[in-house]
Chains A and B, each alone.
Chain A
């Protein structure tokens, strides 16, 4: 069964203080790794899809990278509006429908 572990559980940052979130995964044949952002009481917002080791994607202050065992979400010079829970999910093997989610990392950025 696919497993996803995210660390840390919570991250408190000062505005402008760059940091990284980790997503470690165990999957039989990665088909895709997905990053989502979720604000309290709202649905997850899609950020990135990564398919193979070495792949990188960027969007504003966020950059996602992928290795064979983990993915990192780098937040560069964060702003208070980057405060949210960031969810990592994988789809693997012969599964063509199910996303296995990690528990998420809650990021709080103080002004």
Chain B
């Protein structure tokens, strides 16, 4: 299985809602990532987990809260988002941190009203 899955595919939420994005991989990878991608721009790194521990937070606002319950799962909890947070949210994984390719999921298209 060489796939990263993400749910939901689409999410519409109000600024006062709380929602979560989910990501799953069964490749035995020990590094997982969250990216944000705006239209016609490249992905921007948000968070990095290594062996289920948060390694990197790229100065992301606290309204985004990541969680790694186990080595296969990665969540992104959303609360009090702004309309400018509307974007494609991508999850990726790699065998370990280091020089190796990252495999991306299909993304969750988030719209904040």
Asked if A and B are interacting partners, one says: yes
Does B48 contact A42, Cβ atoms closer than 8 Å?
no
A80 to chain B minimum Cβ distance, whole angstroms, is 21
Distance between Cα atoms of A6 and B40 in the complex (Å): 13
Interface membership of A54, Cβ < 8 A:
no
B25 to chain A minimum Cβ distance, whole angstroms, is 12
Closest B residue to A49 by beta carbon equals B101
Which chain A residues numbered 11 to 47 have a C-beta less than 8 Å away from chain B? 31-32, 34, 36, 41-46
Interface membership of A103, Cβ < 8 A:
yes
- Chain A, interface residues (CB within 8 Å), range: 20 to 34
Q: CB-CB < 8 A to A49: which residues of B?
A: 100-101
B36-72: CB near A (< 8 Å → 1, else 0) gives 0000011101001010000110000000000000000
Does B42 contact A46, Cβ atoms closer than 8 Å?
no
Contacts A97-B31, A97-B55, A98-B45 given; does A46 touch B109 at CB 8 Å: no
Could you tell me the dominant secondary structure of chain B's interface residues? strand
A7 to chain B minimum Cβ distance, whole angstroms, is 15
Does B42 contact A41, Cβ atoms closer than 8 Å?
no
Tally A-B pairs: CB < 8 A: 57
Does A97 contact B99, Cβ atoms closer than 8 Å?
no
Does A97 contact B104, Cβ atoms closer than 8 Å?
no
Does B42 contact A87, Cβ atoms closer than 8 Å?
yes
Does A96 contact B98, Cβ atoms closer than 8 Å?
yes
Contacts A41-B109, A43-B105, A102-B42 given; does A31 touch B99 at CB 8 Å: yes
Interface residues of A (CB under 8 A from B): 31-32, 34, 36, 41-46, 49, 51, 87, 89, 91, 96-99, 101-104
Interface residues of B (CB under 8 A from A): 4, 6, 31, 33, 41-43, 45, 48, 50, 55-56, 88, 90, 92, 97-107, 109
12 A-B pairs (CB sep. < 8 Å): A32-B101, A42-B106, A43-B104, A46-B101, A46-B103, A87-B42, A89-B42, A91-B99, A96-B97, A99-B43, A101-B43, A103-B42
